[in-house]
Amino acid sequence: MSKRDFIHSSAWRHIRAQVIAHESICYLCGKPVDKSIKTGMMAPSVDHVISRNSGGDLADTSNLHLVHRGCNSKKSDMTLEEYRYRQSSQRQSSRDWGNI
């Protein structure tokens, strides 16, 4: 089964549901995830810590964490370190710009 097919499989839906059921905080931003939201940027999503494109395990729960859909979109296939660096440099830029 290809990576793309797996993400649309019942096996993935089961694993995803387990991650969502067992975690409650977005591991990227640290804020609570409202599991009742079904669509939009604040809806629950599951992120592959090591991205699928980088060879991360698709089904290993140690490679999966609960996130907001928007946080997951921002991270894309970056590593956690790349994502955190980008987020911190964007916040720094915003503060610097506001002080001009």
More confident residue, 3 or 57: 57
* Residue-wise burial string across 33-55, b where 16 or more C-beta atoms lie within 10 A, e elsewhere: beeeeeeeebbbbbbbbeeeeee
Plot region of 76 (φ>0 → left; ψ -120 to 50 → alpha; else → beta): left
Q: CATH top-level class for 3-98? A: mainly alpha
Q: Is the pLDDT of residue 96 over 60?
A: no
Percent of the chain, pLDDT > 70? 90
Q: What is the pLDDT of residue 4?
A: 77
Q: Is the pLDDT of residue 35 over 70?
A: yes
